[in-house]
Amino acid sequence: MTHVYTSASMSLDGYIAGPGDSGFDHLFQWYGNGDVEIPTTDPEMTFKLTPQSAAYFSASTRSTGALVVGRHLFDFTSGWGGEHTLGVHTFVVTHSVPSGWEHSENFTFVTDGIESAIAQAKKHAGPDRVVGVNGGTIARQCLEAGLLDEICVDLVPVLLGAGTPFFSELRKVPVTLEGPTTVIEGKAVTHLRYKVVHP
């Protein structure tokens, strides 16, 4: 069965954004603190990673056949200017299709819930690739619906003190994980992967 993971840059105190969507200069610093250039679909955005982070990041990106994101992230990035930065087809979970995007080749707007979005994304990715889920709210919904297999954290050495937790408002806690199955030391970032234990 196609594997579903979520991934985020997270502060040591558990936030994927500081108060008022601040803190990204810290959280995303590792995307620019190395010498290995990784182009994106945005000609003005090239990641510059350390060799360790680049190898990790590239392997993860290559294996990702579809993304599922929430509407907040889609709006926050203005639809990544028309195509997700990673060049991967993206399923947007939303209550309504945003106007002007009805005929997008790169996005599918899913209005019948997270389970449908994951099912469609798995089909799109196929058996040999995985599905990435982005945005804390969507990741939580997947986790609580038993749809999430792996949690990947790019742990950043900063305390933000407040903001948006990676996982908040969890209804069934504690959530036991296994691992980390992967520990890779970048520069000012530690890449960690954990398996979700399905009951």
Contact footprint for a second copy (CB under 8 A): 11-15, 18, 23, 26, 151, 153, 155, 157-162, 165-170, 173-180, 183, 185, 188, 190, 192, 194
User: Minimum distance between the CB of residue 183 and a second copy, rounded to whole angstroms?
Assistant: 6
Cα separation, 150 vs 13, in Å, equals 20
User: Minimum distance between the CB of residue 175 and a second copy, rounded to whole angstroms?
Assistant: 4
Cβ atoms within 10 Å, residue 190: 16
Closest CB to a second copy among 97 and 192? 192
Closest CB to a second copy among 21 and 75? 21
Closest CB to a second copy among 14 and 98? 14
User: Minimum distance between the CB of residue 193 and a second copy, rounded to whole angstroms?
Assistant: 10
User: Minimum distance between the CB of residue 17 and a second copy, rounded to whole angstroms?
Assistant: 12
Q: Are 118 and 147 in contact (CB under 8 A)?
A: yes
First to last CA, the chain: 17
Closest CB to a second copy among 54 and 196? 196
Query: Which residue has tokens 């995007």?
Result: 101
List Cβ neighbours of 112 (8 Å cut-off, separation of 6 or more): none
The pair of three-digit structure tokens given for residue 151, joined into one six-digit string: 């949690």
List Cβ neighbours of 113 (8 Å cut-off, separation of 6 or more): 93
User: Minimum distance between the CB of residue 187 and a second copy, rounded to whole angstroms?
Assistant: 10
Closest CB to a second copy among 37 and 178? 178
